[in-house]
């Protein structure tokens, strides 16, 4: 008999017991169950008597159990806005106020249990040499040396947070995700920190709703395909405690296809200085705050068709290696394409510029199509730009 077999049997029993204890009414029991499962996963990986494939299967099972708990619904989120107030409503009775504080404490405790799971995960997937960075407009971006970055012991596994309700801050910065990461249709009610992370496999955050003050995903590397389509950023009843909602995704590298289409941003977007090697789809988006998509490099086709910009848009100084489609969009305020370069065909057809538009100092190597464009206050795009391919201005109107 394998001398380690008794340990295996014991681990299986401990795992089953801990999985049940995750749903105990007592928060300390749930927290202890998390620690037990994490320790068991570490033990499987450290056991030299267990083949790597078998150990990996056991660890993936434990990770699935932890992610399943993260995905499990929590009734307190129905009253999240109420329970995150410092004080109960004055109109409540004494009994109702006591219940408020009890429910509030339960919400906090449950959030701490779930945060302990994420803390254990990030501790084991964080790439070696990670140093926290604060976002500034002029910072130099980049994660680690992309070719030599080394992940943690849990980096090679898959993580599924689909449909989860994150009613607590999410701290997952500096992660190296070696497998698939899925968080489709998740709700993020608090701050999200995923900056300077590496996604080695496909990642999907489609259909997400982001309600927190800060959303940091800058300085990331996406080696697989990324799906952030059909997301809503900052859509919330009321002013959500006076918070603003800014989406910061600057300085990132997308090596696969990137789908960020059909999303709504209620506040500002900082997504400048990015490199897209594969096709990028940012079509059908609505931006209610200021937008900065400047100094981006698009290695394949770009689609930003059918977007609406409610505030100023900085899109200039970008390089387009493939075709670029900015057609059928509406710009309510100033829009700048200053200094951009288009090696493929570029179309701005049927767009409406209701503020100042700056199509100046651009270089068009392929064809340029401004057919049916309506200009408000504008710099003439023919005046200072270079058109080496065919250009169409038929039907362009200046208001």
pLDDT means over runs of 10, the chain (399 residues): 67 96 97 98 96 97 99 94 90 93 96 98 94 57 62 98 98 96 97 92 95 86 94 56 59 93 91 94 95 96 98 96 98 95 96 90 93 75 56 52
Structure tokens at 376: 């408000």
List C-alpha distances in Å: 304 to 148, 207, 230, 330, 390.
Answer: 34, 19, 14, 11, 21
List C-alpha distances in Å: 212 to 97, 209, 240, 267.
Answer: 26, 9, 8, 11
> How confident is the model at residue 132, as a pLDDT?
79
Distance CA(175)–CA(357), nearest Å, equals 40
> How confident is the model at residue 140, as a pLDDT?
43
> How confident is the model at residue 277, as a pLDDT?
95
How distant is the alpha carbon of residue 225 from its chain centre?
13
CB burial string 370-382: b at 16+ within 10 A, e below: bebbbbbebbebe
Torsion sign (Cα): 36, 181, 231, 185: negative
> How confident is the model at residue 218, as a pLDDT?
86
Domain boundaries, the chain: 8-117
> How confident is the model at residue 246, as a pLDDT?
67
Angle formed at CA 335 by CA 244 and CA 296, multiple of 5 degrees: 80
Contact assessment for residue 252 and residue 221, using Cβ atoms and an 8 Å cutoff:
yes
Backbone angles phi, psi at 282, to 5 degrees: -120, 30
Distance CA(269)–CA(38), nearest Å, equals 37
Distance CA(152)–CA(172), nearest Å, equals 13
């Amino acid at each position: 008999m394998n001398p380690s077999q008794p340990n295996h049997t014991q681990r299986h029993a401990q795992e089953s017991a801990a999985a049940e204890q995750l749903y105990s009414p007592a928060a300390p029991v749930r927290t202890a169950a998390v620690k037990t499962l994490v320790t068991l996963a570490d033990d499987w990986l450290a056991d030299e008597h267990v083949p790597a494939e078998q150990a990996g299967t056991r660890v993936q099972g434990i990770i699935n159990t932890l992610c399943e708990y993260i995905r499990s619904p929590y009734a307190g989120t129905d009253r999240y806005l109420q329970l995150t107030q410092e004080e109960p409503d004055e109109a409540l009775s004494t009994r109702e106020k006591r219940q408020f504080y009890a429910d509030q404490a339960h919400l906090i405790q449950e959030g701490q249990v779930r945060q302990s799971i994420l803390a254990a995960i990030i501790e084991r997937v964080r790439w070696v040499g990670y140093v926290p960075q604060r976002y500034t407009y002029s910072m130099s971006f980049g994660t680690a040396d992309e070719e030599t970055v080394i992940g943690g012991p849990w980096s090679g596994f898959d993580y599924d947070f689909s449909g989860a309700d994150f009613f607590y801050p999410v701290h997952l910065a500096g992660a190296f995700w070696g497998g698939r990461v899925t968080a489709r249709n998740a709700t993020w009610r608090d701050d999200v920190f995923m900056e300077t992370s590496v996604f080695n496999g496909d990642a999907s955050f489609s259909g997400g709703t982001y309600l927190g003050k800060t959303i940091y995903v800058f300085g990331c590397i996406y080696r697989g395909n990324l799906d952030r389509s059909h997301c809503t950023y900052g859509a919330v009843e009321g002013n959500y405690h006076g918070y603003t909602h800014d989406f910061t995704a600057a300085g990132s590298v997308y090596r696969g296809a990137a789908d960020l289409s059909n999303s709504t941003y209620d506040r500002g977007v900082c997504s400048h200085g990015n490199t897209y090697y594969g096709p990028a789809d940012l079509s059908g988006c609505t931006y209610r705050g200021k937008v900065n998509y400047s100094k981006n490099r698009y290695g394949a086709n770009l689609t930003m068709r059918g977007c609406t910009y409610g505030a100023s848009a900085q899109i200039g100084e970008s390089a387009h290696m493939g075709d670029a489609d900015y057609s059928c969009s509406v710009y309510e305020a100033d829009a700048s394409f200053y200094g951009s370069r288009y090696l493929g065909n570029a179309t701005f057809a049927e767009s409406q510029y209701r503020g100042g538009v700056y199509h100046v100092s651009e270089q068009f190597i392929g064809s340029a199509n401004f057919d049916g464009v309506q200009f408000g206050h504008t710099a003439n795009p023919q005046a200072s730009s270079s058109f080496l391919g065919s250009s169409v201005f038929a039907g362009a109107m200046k208001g």
